[in-house]
């Protein structure tokens, strides 16, 4: 089978990521460049900057001279990598073999996907559709070897073909600057009169190996598919982890909602395509010059919808204050599980807007987890030990014998009885707990005070009277 | 009859003095005296204002009807919001409540109390909500009333009798005072009828030990229940 590779080159990943975050920003009109601080060269630029005459690889000084109001953003590999990863995740839905090349390109193995899609045109239509949905700039090209496809994509060839002759002709047009050869190697070649690929490919591989570095020979061998080029393919991660860098620092919680919504929509897509649900989201809000805030949002019922999460998050956000502006947000979702459809009764009617678990999540998000509880029982005679409030709702435990005549409210701890009461029922002796640190010997009585309130009082062996409960 | 009047009557916006229909769809409270006074029972949904001291049986008065509601709507919750003390789960379980259908909410701020109440009411997954709260304004009660209608839920507000005396727009108002046989009740407000004075509710059927007949002051010899662990 003839091998065909498709290379997609993303020249402006970081700028695209910023634009996607802030659709209303002035990225369209204002000149923006991304500057690689290590080499002091422009590595990404938008259309306005290009029109001003700025080109890739220019120094900051030159660029600034060409356009006075130029906005410069430092290059951050992390953002580019993250964005590329997202794109790969999305492409994985339609094509299987994806390989990362540098920080700004993806290589797709086409020939084994043609069985599924029939021909190259229909395959490209599907891939293109996915790419257009990502709102990124891209150039593409097919090639008979990975490096050939890459070279053509970088020269913005933008053609899809499986005709080797066409591809080879296109390669001959390419200049050496676009190749993967080092600057030193290119200079060396230029000194001997080799200025473009056409000149270079005229020379036989054996001669190149003799006269130039092994690196040049390998490159030529790989590009002409004479040497095998091993690639390692991408496997999508099981968990969701996304980092977004904000275009400008955010100090207001309200404004923070917009980038959060964007993250949530990404999560929704991720979970929906895999038919998964999750219960916990962990946001890390990186604050400038301050410790970052970790925001854990919990839902009792598994959710994937961005809408449902947004409600819980806005409640959580009410309780936090930003001590410094936020410049980046990261969302990690570690545990997911397969969705099982809720079986609800069609005929029950009058079904609420929320399920029980959703209501509990809502209350817990606003009031804190400890504020919502469900009473539980422990098999013990001591009234203090019997009641234990569990957070959230718990399943009923094994039934055991319960004693009648227990008050509705308990005072924790019991207080000394301060008023005159008349005994209505009792005593009921509870003498237990000798095996642990809290033994009790008490005679319990039901008593009524002068105001007609029903009390649960007890007498200790010393003769002290305590009020322990109220029969409301 | 004037067409406007008949129109209003059809819309159920006009009330006439001879028009005290008995409400049969009310839910029985579990106490005959109260059922009679309410001509049926508690409303299906709405806000019930209960003014009572603590510890005279005000919560026990509500338990039988809430338990009935829980049995009718088994997937839904009973929510207790801001109880003044720790709720004793043993009492609830002993009375027949499934504890996993009881939710206790204890907000730290006053503002959050009303918010939680509103959310619980309109969620449609709480059949009854009991709220212990001191001061409520007319607008707050109206909001709760709307939320209760939306979620078809019943809200009981328990508050001290001496607190403010403005008339709140509730579905039903009851004032409770202590009584030896059980509890003394007076309907202070009810849609569509007059109040007919206070009456005693006998609670001995559920809690014989917490009910004394009015005349006898003699204590029965205490039955000694001894338990050692």
pLDDT string in tens for chain B (229-residue length): 788 888 888 877 777 766 555 554 567 888 888 888 888 888 888 999 999 989 898 999 999 999 999 888 888 899 999 999 998 888 888 888 888 889 999 998 888 899 999 999 988 889 999 999 888 888 999 999 999 988 889 999 999 887 666 788 888 889 999 988 889 998 888 876 666 788 888 888 888 888 876 554 444 444 444 444 4
Give me the count of residues in chain B.
Answer: 229
Look at residue B228 in the predicted model and tell me its pLDDT: 45
What is the DSSP secondary structure assignment for residue A59, as one 8-state letter? B
What are the DSSP calls for A89-103, one per residue? HHHTTT-S-EEEETT
Residue of A nearest to B150 (CA): A352
Q: Is the CB of B112 less than 8 angstroms away from the CB of A367? A: yes
Cis peptide before A49 (omega within 30 of 0): no
8 Å CB contact of B86 and A409: yes
Phi then psi for residue A395, to 5 deg, are -75, 150
Name the strand (E) or helix (H) holding B59.
helix B58-72
Identify all chain B residues contacting A312, using CB atoms and an 8 Å cutoff. Answer: none
| Contact: B122, A353; criterion CB under 8 Å | yes
How many angstroms separate the CA atoms of B132 and B150, rounded?
A: 21
Judge whether A3 and A144 are in contact, CB under 8 Å: yes
Upstream peptide bond of A427 is cis (omega within 30 degrees of 0): yes
The encoded tokens of residue B94 equal: 């002993």
Please give the backbone phi and psi of residue A92, each rounded to the nearest 5 degrees, phi first. -60, -20
Q: pLDDT, tens digit, for every residue of A412-469? A: 889 999 889 998 887 888 888 888 878 889 999 999 988 889 999 999 999 999 999 9
3-state DSSP assignment of residue B99: helix
Mean of all residue pLDDT scores within chain A: 85
pLDDT at B128: 94
With contacts defined as CB-CB under 8 Å, which chain A residues touch B45?
none
What's phi and psi for A287, nearest 5 deg? -105, 145
- When pLDDT is cut at 50, 70 and 90, the band that residue A385 belongs to is confident
Neighbours of A368 (CB within 10 A): 15
Reduced to 3 states, what is the DSSP secondary structure of residue A307? helix
Q: φ, ψ for residue A34 (rounded to 5)?
A: -105, 125
Q: Considering CB atoms only, which of A358, A362, A375 is closest to B87?
A: A375
For residue A407, list chain B residues with Cβ-Cβ distance below 8 A.
88, 91
The whole-angstrom distance between A295's CA and the closest CA on chain B is 20
Contact yes or no for B90 and A406 at CB 8 A: yes
Question: Does residue A307 carry a pLDDT above 70?
Answer: yes
What's the confidence (pLDDT) of residue A390? 59
Q: How far is A441 from chain B (nearest CA, A)?
A: 9
* DSSP character at residue B223: P
Mutate to test the interface with B, among A408, A414, A442, A467 (most CBs of B within 10 A): A408
A54-74, pLDDT tens digit by residue? 888 888 889 888 888 888 888
> What are the structural domains of chain A?
5-223 (no CATH), 249-338 (3.30.1490.100), 398-470 (no CATH)
Nearest beta carbon to residue B228 from set A394, A431, A469: A431
CB of A431 within 8 Å of a chain B CB? The answer is yes
A327 burial (CB, 10 Å; 0-12 / 13-18 / 19+) is middle
Closest listed residue to residue B107, CA positions, set A370, A361, A374: A370
Instruction: Using CB atoms within 10 Å of the CB of residue B139, give its burial: 0 to 12 exposed, 13 to 18 middle, 19+ buried.
Output: exposed
Confirm or reject contact between A386 and chain B (CB < 8 A): yes
CA distance linking residue A170 with residue A174, whole number of Å: 7
The yes-or-no verdict on residue A386 having pLDDT over 80 is no
Q: How far apart are the first and last CA of chain A?
A: 84
Would you kindly state where each structural domain of chain B is located, as residue ranges?
32-210
Q: What is the pLDDT of residues A111-148, one digit of tens each?
A: 888 889 988 999 999 999 989 988 889 999 999 999 99
- Mean pLDDT value across residues A198-212: 86
Candidates A352, A411, A434; nearest CB to B151: A352
Measured between CB atoms, does A395 come within 8 Å of chain B? yes
3-state secondary structure of A159: strand
Helix (H), strand (E) at residue B80: strand B77-81
The CATH class of the B32-210 domain is alpha beta
CA A433 – CA A380 distance, rounded (Å): 9
Please indicate whether, in this complex, the C-beta atoms of B59 and A394 are within 8 angstroms of each other.
Answer: no
Pick the residue with more confidence: B104 or A1? B104
Give per-residue pLDDT as tens, A146-189: 999 999 999 988 989 888 899 989 998 888 888 888 888 889 88
Residues on chain A touching B218 (C-beta within 8 angstroms) = none
pLDDT of residue A394 exceeding 70: no
Q: What is the DSSP track for B9-58?
A: HHTT----TT------SSBP-S-HHHHHHTTT-B-SSEEEEEE--TTSSH
Q: Which residue of A300, A351, A359, A400 is the best one to mutate when testing the B interface, meaning the one whose CB has the most B CBs within 10 A?
A: A359
CB pairs under 8 A between A and B: 200
Q: Which of A363, A372, A455 sits opposite B55 (nearest CB)?
A: A455
């Amino acid at each position: 089978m003839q091998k065909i590779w498709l290379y997609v080159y993303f020249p402006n990943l970081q700028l695209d990521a910023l634009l996607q975050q802030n659709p209303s920003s002035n990225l369209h009109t204002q000149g923006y460049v991304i500057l690689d601080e290590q080499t002091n060269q422009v590595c990404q630029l938008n259309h306005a900057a290009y029109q001003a005459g700025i080109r890739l690889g220019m120094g900051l000084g030159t660029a600034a001279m060409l356009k006075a109001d130029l906005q410069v953003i430092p290059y951050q590999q992390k953002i580019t990598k993250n964005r590329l990863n997202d794109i790969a995740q999305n492409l994985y839905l339609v094509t299987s073999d994806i390989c990362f090349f540098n920080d700004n390109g993806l290589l797709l193995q086409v020939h084994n996907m043609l069985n599924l899609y029939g021909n190259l045109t229909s395959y490209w239509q599907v891939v293109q559709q996915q790419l257009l949905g990502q709102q990124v700039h891209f150039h593409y090209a097919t090639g008979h070897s990975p490096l050939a496809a890459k070279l053509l994509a970088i020269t913005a060839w933008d053609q899809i073909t499986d005709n080797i002759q066409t591809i080879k002709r296109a390669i001959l047009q390419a200049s050496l600057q676009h190749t993967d050869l080092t600057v030193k190697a290119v200079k060396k070649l230029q000194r001997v009169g080799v200025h473009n690929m056409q000149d270079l490919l005229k020379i036989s591989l054996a001669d190149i190996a003799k006269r130039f570095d092994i690196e040049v020979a390998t490159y030529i061998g790989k590009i002409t598919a004479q040497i095998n080029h091993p690639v390692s393919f991408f496997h999508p991660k099981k968990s969701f982890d996304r980092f977004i860098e904000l275009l400008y620092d955010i100090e207001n919680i309200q404004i923070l909602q917009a980038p959060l919504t964007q993250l949530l929509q990404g999560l929704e897509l991720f979970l929906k395509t895999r038919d998964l649900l999750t219960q916990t989201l962990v946001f890390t809000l990186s604050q400038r010059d301050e410790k970052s805030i970790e925001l854990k949002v919990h839902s009792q019922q598994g959710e994937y919808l961005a809408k449902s999460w947004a409600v819980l998050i806005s409640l959580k956000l009410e309780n936090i204050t930003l001590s410094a502006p936020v410049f980046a947000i990261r969302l990690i979702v570690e545990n997911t599980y397969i969705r099982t459809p809720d079986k609800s009764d069609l005929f029950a009617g009058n079904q609420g807007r929320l399920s029980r678990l959703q209501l509990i999540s809502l209350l817990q998000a606003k009031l804190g987890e400890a504020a919502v509880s469900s009473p539980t029982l422990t098999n013990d005679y001591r009234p203090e030990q019997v009641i234990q409030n569990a957070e959230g709702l718990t399943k009923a435990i094994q039934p055991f014998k319960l004693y009648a005549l227990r008050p509705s409210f308990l005072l924790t701890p019991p207080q000394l009885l301060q008023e005159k009461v008349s005994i209505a029922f009792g005593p009921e002796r509870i003498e237990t707990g000798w095996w642990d640190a809290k033994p009790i010997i008490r005679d319990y009585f039901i008593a009524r005070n002068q105001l007609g309130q029903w009390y649960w009082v007890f007498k200790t062996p010393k003769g002290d009277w305590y009020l322990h409960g109220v029969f409301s | 009859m004037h067409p406007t009047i008949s129109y209003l009557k059809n819309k159920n916006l006009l009330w006439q003095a001879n028009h005290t229909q008995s409400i049969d769809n009310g839910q029985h409270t579990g106490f005959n005296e109260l059922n009679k006074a309410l001509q049926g029972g508690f409303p299906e949904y709405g806000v019930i204002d209960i003014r009572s001291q603590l510890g005279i049986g005000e919560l026990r008065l509500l338990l039988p009807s809430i338990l009935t509601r829980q049995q009718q709507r088994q997937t839904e919750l009973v929510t207790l919001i801001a109880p003044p003390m720790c709720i004793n789960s043993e009492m609830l379980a002993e009375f027949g409540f499934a504890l996993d259908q009881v939710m206790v909410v204890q907000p730290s701020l006053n503002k959050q109390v009303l918010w939680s109440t509103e959310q619980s009411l309109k969620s449609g997954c709480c059949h009854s909500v009991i709220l212990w709260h001191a001061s409520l304004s007319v607008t707050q009660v109206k909001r709760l009333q709307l939320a209760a209608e939306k979620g078809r839920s019943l809200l009981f507000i328990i508050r001290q009798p001496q607190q403010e005396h403005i008339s709140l727009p509730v579905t039903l108002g009851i004032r409770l005072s202590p009584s030896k046989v059980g509890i003394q009740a007076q309907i202070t407000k009810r849609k569509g009828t007059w109040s007919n004075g206070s009456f005693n509710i006998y609670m001995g059927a559920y809690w014989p030990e917490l009910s004394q007949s009015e005349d006898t002051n003699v204590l029965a010899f205490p039955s000694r229940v001894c338990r050692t662990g």
